[in-house]
Amino acid sequence: MALKTMSAEEAARLIKNNDNVGFSGFTAAGCPKVVPAALAKYAEEEHAKGNPFKISVFTGASTGDYIDGALSRAKAVSRRTPYQSNKDMRAAINNEEVAYFDMHLSQLAQEIRYGFFGKINVAVIEACEVTEAGEIVPTCGVGISPTACRLADIVIVELNSCHPKAMRGMHDIVEFQDPPHRKAIEIFKPDDRIGADCIKVDPKKIVVVETDTPNDGGGFAPVDEVTAKIGDNVANFFVKEMAEGRMPKTFLPIQSGVGNVANAVLAAMGDNKDIPDFNVYTEVIQDAVIGLMKTGRVKFASGCSLTVSNPVLNEIYNNLDFFKEKVVLRPSEFSNNPGIVRRLGLISINTALEADIFGNINSTHVLGTKMMNGIGGSGDFTRSAYVSIFVTPSVAKGGAISAFVPFVSHVDHSEHSVKVIISEYGIADLRGKSPRQRAECIIDNCVHPDYRPLLREYLASCPVGHTPINLNNTFAFHKALMETGDMKNAKIEK
């Protein structure tokens, strides 16, 4: 039986007002493009006719502008989860036009299956291949696609000719059984495979839309002096841990967050001869990982997405035999599974937006109110890591903002989950320390020298107690920023 095919515009009309829609991909990688763009246009037409049209958007993580950008500009989104990083979607969330719930990425697929968010009506999936037997081969990102495809009544497949069919074999597609029938996950090394090379659904549910729209292949800023210093500090921390017997000399798999600091850390690790060749078990495989794979420094990378620039993606596609041996892409409930993180003994490295002197981390909120992106997978990895590291430049906005404050304005990772904090100034090893010891360690090692006296003054203003806080001054830094534009103007009351 031939699969149904139609235009993006026709396919978009299969989606109804109030539907729950699951999209493929993880970051812009692997997201559909022409169907959500057509859907945004359709929503605007409906709105122009006075008809309501909003959907709930479920994805693996952030998306390309085609989904979060276009749909939020069209005011076509009522609910959004679990993560986003698009400026228009962010504005809609912070205007409270969109009800966003910020989730640990590993939890979404199972909570959709548990029925916590209602039925998934439609799945929209980018694929490099789809067969009449109902086999769908994803492209560069997997996310929640297996669950969305199984549960949806309609599966719209964007068959994208930019991605070669020969990609088949790079994915490891599997879904959990749900409690009380859940089995063990047989992943004991980053390169273990436990699933199939495609998603299988009833072909009668499939609608195919053909396209050749390329990925948004964004890159990251080059490594600068501050991020290079952070990278060196991280690498040096590992060398010391191995030398002192707190980390196996064979090393452990690395999870690394997304962005410039993460790229700098990977570069520094690659350059450090005292760190053995290593494996990566992470959510997002970036350019830096592929670079280290070519030099042999990275032996294998397991992730949920290949979020690489277009030149690097072309290189991978032109050398698929090499890279299919060294890369596996899994659904987010496996790439980010805390049980696997703990079993493999992952070293997690994530970026803090803001940290406090006790080791609590804000990954999401500017001044406690404005959502930046979301917690993403950082919680999945951090809580269960062998050792969890947060990295951050000590200051932002030319020094007007200190990354280290008396009290974070939002807590995403509590003191219990955060073992080490590293800035360009040094390493604060928080393991086994009381809150006051942690505060002194962070101030002495990580805080920018301009802010050390202020934070010491704050600490001295606190009453004796297990966690020395002063409720009159907890947000003195934030208030100074709001009122004067510079945290250095913070006034510490007694």
Q: Which is nearer to a second copy, 138 or 338 (CB)?
A: 338
> Would strands 199-200 and 135-138 be described as parallel, antiparallel, or unpaired?
antiparallel
Give yes or no for a contact between 263 and 290, defined as CB atoms under 8 angstroms apart: no
Kindly state the tokens that stand for 263.
């790229």
* Least Å from the CB of residue 463 to a second copy: 6
Q: Which is nearer to a second copy, 177 or 321 (CB)?
A: 177
> Would strands 122-130 and 77-81 be described as parallel, antiparallel, or unpaired?
unpaired
Q: Which residue has the tokens 């980018």?
A: 126
Per DSSP, the three-state class of 453 is helix
Query: At residue 459, what is the residue type?
Result: L
Give yes or no for a contact between 305 and 140, defined as CB atoms under 8 angstroms apart: yes
Instruction: Give which of 238, 237, 223 is closest to 288, Cα–Cα.
Output: 223
Alpha carbons 441 and 333: distance in angstroms, whole number: 35
Q: Which is nearer to a second copy, 25 or 406 (CB)?
A: 406
Q: Which is nearer to a second copy, 106 or 260 (CB)?
A: 106
Kindly state the tokens that stand for 147.
């669950």
**Alpha helices for 224-259 (secondary structure H):** 225-243
Q: Assess whether the previous peptide bond of 36 is cis (omega < 30° from 0).
A: no
Alpha carbons 57 and 429: distance in angstroms, whole number: 40
Instruction: Give which of 408, 395, 494 is closest to 451, Cα–Cα.
Output: 395
* Least Å from the CB of residue 466 to a second copy: 4
Query: At residue 479, what is the residue type?
Result: K
Positions annotated as catalytic residues are 283
Total residue length of the chain? 494
Give yes or no for a contact between 251 and 242, defined as CB atoms under 8 angstroms apart: yes
Alpha carbons 459 and 480: distance in angstroms, whole number: 17
Alpha carbons 3 and 153: distance in angstroms, whole number: 15
Q: Which residue has the tokens 């390329």?
A: 214
